[in-house]
Amino acid sequence: MTQATATPVALTIAGSDSSGGAGIQADLKTFTAFAVYGASVLTALTAQNTKGVAAVHPVPASFVRAQIRAVFDDLAVGAVKTGMLANAEVVLAVAGEMGRHPEVPLVVDPVMVSTNGDLLLEADAVSALKSRLLPRADLITPNLPEAASILGGKVAASEAEMVEQGRRLLELGCGAVLIKGGHGVGAAAVDVLVTAAGSTARLESPRIETLNTHGTGCTLSAAIAALLAMGEPLESAVRRAKTYVTRAIDHGREQAIGHGRGPVDHLFAIRTATPPA
């Protein structure tokens, strides 16, 4: 009998997007694009589409905890990413469960506001995020407004300020910080990766003019988690994930899905039969 080959497994702990462009749905599509087996833990149900979020129904923290335990009791999870966590109780539940698995790489996307400006994290949950979950993370991936919100300051207006904010975020205890510059201006979209080991990396891609950017943050953190589950080193995983998202945005310009901010094209590589990154 032929011995089975171990399949990389990535777990997403996030909210559901009923329109399929962000959240759990985007994460699972991204895992599929990288040929990684995707498992999921729901933290909230949202009634949303490309035009905005109409309603949010948080999942009880005890059930979030039960889902995480069920996955880890059976699957060989290679990496975890978190997205929308909704409230302090869920943040604490996730932090507690991930504390039981310190060997598993954790990517925290501190989702606070949707692409359309809808609040996705209750205000009292930010302190729990900072004190309990971020110190456990191997990587956090805030965008410019999220980094400023966590630090209680102004949005970075230059790359130097992004690096400075990244170093301040490292003081919360995480292993690395990727500050995403998609909300910035200019011909290039520049992200900055700062690590606790002292390294700093600049990641640049062309800024693509399109309204179809729904779910880009979820997709990037999911791609990083997928690559970490495959054994990719952190900086390489971040660079490959950014390339994947840039191509997904580029291909997504051709899609006509919804009447608002449409999704990126998560499965472009499958359709075009080219590698994801």
Least confident span in 158-162, 238-242, 272-276: 272-276
**Residue 184: predicted pLDDT:** 62
Query: Which of the pair, 61 or 2, is modelled with greater confidence?
Result: 61
Concerning whether 213 is annotated as a catalytic residue, the answer is yes
Can you tell me whether residue 54 is helix, strand or coil? strand
Q: What is the pLDDT confidence band of residue 271, given thresholds at 50, 70 and 90?
A: confident
Mean pLDDT calculated for residue range 234-255: 95
Range 1-6, long-range pairs (CB < 8 A, 24+ positions): 6/76
Q: How far apart are CA 146 and CA 110, in angstroms?
A: 7
Mean pLDDT calculated for residue range 121-143: 91
pLDDT cut 70: percent of the chain above it: 93
Mean pLDDT calculated for residue range 170-182: 95
Q: What is the pLDDT confidence band of residue 175, given thresholds at 50, 70 and 90?
A: very high
Query: CA of 166: how far to CAs of 111, 130, 155, 176, 198, in Å?
Result: 17, 14, 12, 8, 11
C-alpha atoms less than 13 angstroms from C-alpha of 31 in its C-beta half-sphere: 24
Concerning whether 81 is annotated as a catalytic residue, the answer is no
Concerning whether 152 is annotated as a catalytic residue, the answer is no
Q: Which of 213, 219, 252, 262 is catalytic?
A: 213
**Residue 269: predicted pLDDT:** 83
Mean pLDDT calculated for residue range 202-220: 92
Concerning whether 246 is annotated as a catalytic residue, the answer is no
Q: Which of 218, 219, 242, 252 is catalytic?
A: 218
Least confident span in 85-99, 168-182, 260-274: 260-274
Q: Which of 78, 83, 217, 262 is catalytic?
A: 217
Q: Which of 182, 184, 215, 262 is catalytic?
A: 215
Concerning whether 130 is annotated as a catalytic residue, the answer is no
Q: Does pLDDT of 233 surpass 60?
A: yes
In DSSP terms, 49 is beta-bridged to 52
Nearest to 87 by CA among 48, 51, 31, 128: 128
Q: Which domains does the chain have, with CATH numbers?
A: 9-266 (3.40.1190.20)
Tens of pLDDT, residues 11-53: 999 999 999 999 999 999 999 999 999 999 999 999 999 999 9
Mean pLDDT calculated for residue range 235-241: 97
What burial class does residue 204 get, using C-beta atoms within 10 Å of its C-beta: 0-12 exposed, 13-18 middle, 19+ buried?
middle
Q: Does pLDDT of 1 surpass 60?
A: no
**Residue 111: predicted pLDDT:** 86
Tens of pLDDT, residues 80-114: 999 999 899 999 999 999 999 999 999 999 988 66
Q: How far apart are CA 63 and CA 14, in angstroms?
A: 13
Mean pLDDT calculated for residue range 133-149: 95
Q: Which of 216, 219, 242, 252 is catalytic?
A: 216
**Residue 117: predicted pLDDT:** 56
Q: What is the pLDDT confidence band of residue 254, given thresholds at 50, 70 and 90?
A: confident
Give the residue ranges of DSSP H helices in the chain: 23-33, 61-74, 88-98, 125-128, 144-151, 159-170, 216-229, 234-252, 268-272
**Residue 276: predicted pLDDT:** 59
Q: Does pLDDT of 8 surpass 70?
A: yes
Q: How far apart are CA 194 and CA 239, in angstroms?
A: 13
**Residue 265: predicted pLDDT:** 93
Q: For 91-114, give one letter per residue: b (16+ CB within 10 A) or e.
A: bbbbbebbeeeeebbbbbbbbbeb
Concerning whether 231 is annotated as a catalytic residue, the answer is no
* DSSP tag of 78: -
Mean pLDDT calculated for residue range 149-168: 94
Q: How far apart are CA 106 and CA 212, in angstroms?
A: 28
